[in-house]
């Protein structure tokens, strides 16, 4: 059997991972994808690490049962809490995760303040602490409980959302040292990029890890001879929100979010 023709599984706690799917559809035009949003268990970012691991393990099993050739954890929170353990359990399987793009911000803006927006679980994790020790010299970590919920409601630019963000940025704009970079360290926040940018000086870079994640996926597939050789026929992706009562509503919101330009 030609495993390269199998789809790639992508998952998140909800809609955020669609920002990674959107990038993957653009960068890997010959691949097919199965997306799973675990909205029945969202948010992940305010649970314990162990609870997040259990959710991520269940979704991983579900996607493996669907016969995917690789898995993308399109969630910084689930990567921080569960990726190492999942890789131990499935050592022969390609599992690509993500972490707040602090290294990218540090490389692009070696001087000047960097603000990292992410969930409480991501920022409290050992994985993030190590990243911060290496690249966090000028960085401030800002936990954003409640922010992913705006995206889950389909709200990417309301006054209420802007009020939330202004409160976060306020202290770092008031002291005359505007940040050089803001890291969107949760895949949900990537859909808020233009709203975030509109609240910051034009020179502040708003960065995320989506392209780097898809490049890493491509490398891993290439190494194992699993890149699909031909554009698949029919739909290039399927969306799943099983177990969720409002799966139908989620499906239409997901399609709307996927159409937002990158």
Catalytic residue set: 75, 186
List the Cα angle 119/121/73 in 5-degree steps: 80
By CB under 6 A, name the one of 23, 77, 204, 213 that touches ligand DGL. Answer: 77
Tell me how far, at minimum, the Cβ of 120 lies from ligand DGL, in Å: 9
Would residue 225 be called left, alpha or beta, if left means φ above 0 and alpha means ψ between -120 and 50 degrees? left
Please report whether residue 7 would count as binding ligand DGL according to CB under 6 A.
no
By CB under 6 A, name the one of 33, 36, 44, 241 that touches ligand DGL. Answer: 44
The stretch near ligand DGL (CB under 6 A) out of 9-17, 127-135, 153-161, 203-211 is 9-17
Please report whether residue 75 would count as binding ligand DGL according to CB under 6 A.
yes
Q: Which is nearer to ligand DGL, 6 or 250 (CB)?
A: 250
CB atoms near residue 49 (< 10 Å):
18
Tell me how far, at minimum, the Cβ of 151 lies from ligand DGL, in Å: 8
Please report whether residue 114 would count as binding ligand DGL according to CB under 6 A.
no
Tell me how far, at minimum, the Cβ of 173 lies from ligand DGL, in Å: 24
The stretch near ligand DGL (CB under 6 A) out of 38-46, 192-200, 229-237, 241-249 is 38-46
Q: Which is nearer to ligand DGL, 228 or 241 (CB)?
A: 241
Please report whether residue 125 would count as binding ligand DGL according to CB under 6 A.
no
Chain centroid to CA 254: 14
* Interface with ligand DGL in residues 166-195 (CB under 6 A): 186-188
Please report whether residue 10 would count as binding ligand DGL according to CB under 6 A.
no
Report the residue number whose CB is nearest to ligand DGL.
Answer: 45
Among 82, 74, 15, 13, smallest CA distance to 45 is for 13
List the Cα angle 103/106/110 in 5-degree steps: 160
Among 15, 59, 34, smallest CA distance to 239 is for 34
End-to-end CA distance of the chain: 35
Task: Give the C-alpha separation, 28 to 232, whole Å.
Answer: 11
Would residue 86 be called left, alpha or beta, if left means φ above 0 and alpha means ψ between -120 and 50 degrees? alpha
By CB under 6 A, name the one of 7, 13, 31, 239 that touches ligand DGL. Answer: 13
Tell me how far, at minimum, the Cβ of 74 lies from ligand DGL, in Å: 7
CB 170 within 8 A of CB 64: no
CB 186 within 8 A of CB 151: no
Among 86, 85, 135, smallest CA distance to 109 is for 135
By CB under 6 A, name the one of 16, 97, 136, 209 that touches ligand DGL. Answer: 16
Task: Return the exposure string of 52-65: e unless at least 16 CB atoms fall within 10 Å of the residue's CB, then b.
Answer: bbebbeebbebbee
Please report whether residue 208 would count as binding ligand DGL according to CB under 6 A.
no
Tell me how far, at minimum, the Cβ of 19 lies from ligand DGL, in Å: 9
Chain centroid to CA 154: 16
Residues in contact with ligand DGL by the rule CB under 6 A? 12-13, 16, 42-45, 75-77, 119, 122, 148, 186-188
């Amino acid at each position: 059997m030609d495993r390269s023709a199998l789809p790639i599984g992508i998952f998140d706690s909800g809609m955020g991972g669609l920002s990674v799917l959107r990038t993957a559809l653009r960068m890997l035009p010959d691949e097919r994808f199965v997306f799973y949003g675990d909205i029945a268990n969202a948010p992940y970012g305010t649970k314990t690490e162990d609870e997040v691991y259990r959710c991520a393990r269940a979704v991983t099993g579900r996607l493996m049962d669907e016969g995917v050739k690789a898995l993308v954890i399109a969630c910084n929170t689930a990567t921080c809490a569960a990726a190492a353990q999942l890789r131990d359990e499935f050592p022969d399987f390609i599992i690509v995760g993500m972490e707040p793009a602090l290294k990218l911000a540090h490389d692009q803006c070696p001087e000047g303040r960097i603000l990292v927006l992410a969930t409480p679980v991501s920022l409290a994790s050992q994985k993030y602490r190590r990243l911060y020790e290496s690249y966090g010299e000028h960085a401030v970590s800002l936990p954003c409980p409640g922010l992913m919920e705006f995206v889950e409601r389909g709200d990417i630019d309301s006054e209420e959302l802007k009020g939330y963000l202004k409160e976060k940025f306020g202290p770092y704009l008031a002291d005359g040292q505007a940040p050089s970079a803001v890291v969107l360290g949760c895949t949900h926040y990537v859909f808020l990029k233009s709203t975030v940018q509109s609240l910051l000086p034009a020179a502040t870079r708003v960065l995320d890890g989506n392209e780097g994640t898809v490049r890493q996926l491509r490398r891993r597939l290439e190494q194992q001879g699993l890149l699909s050789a031909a554009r698949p026929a029919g739909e290039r992706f399927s969306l799943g929100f099983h177990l969720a009562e409002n799966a139908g509503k989620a499906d239409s919101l997901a399609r709307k979010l996927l159409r937002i330009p990158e």
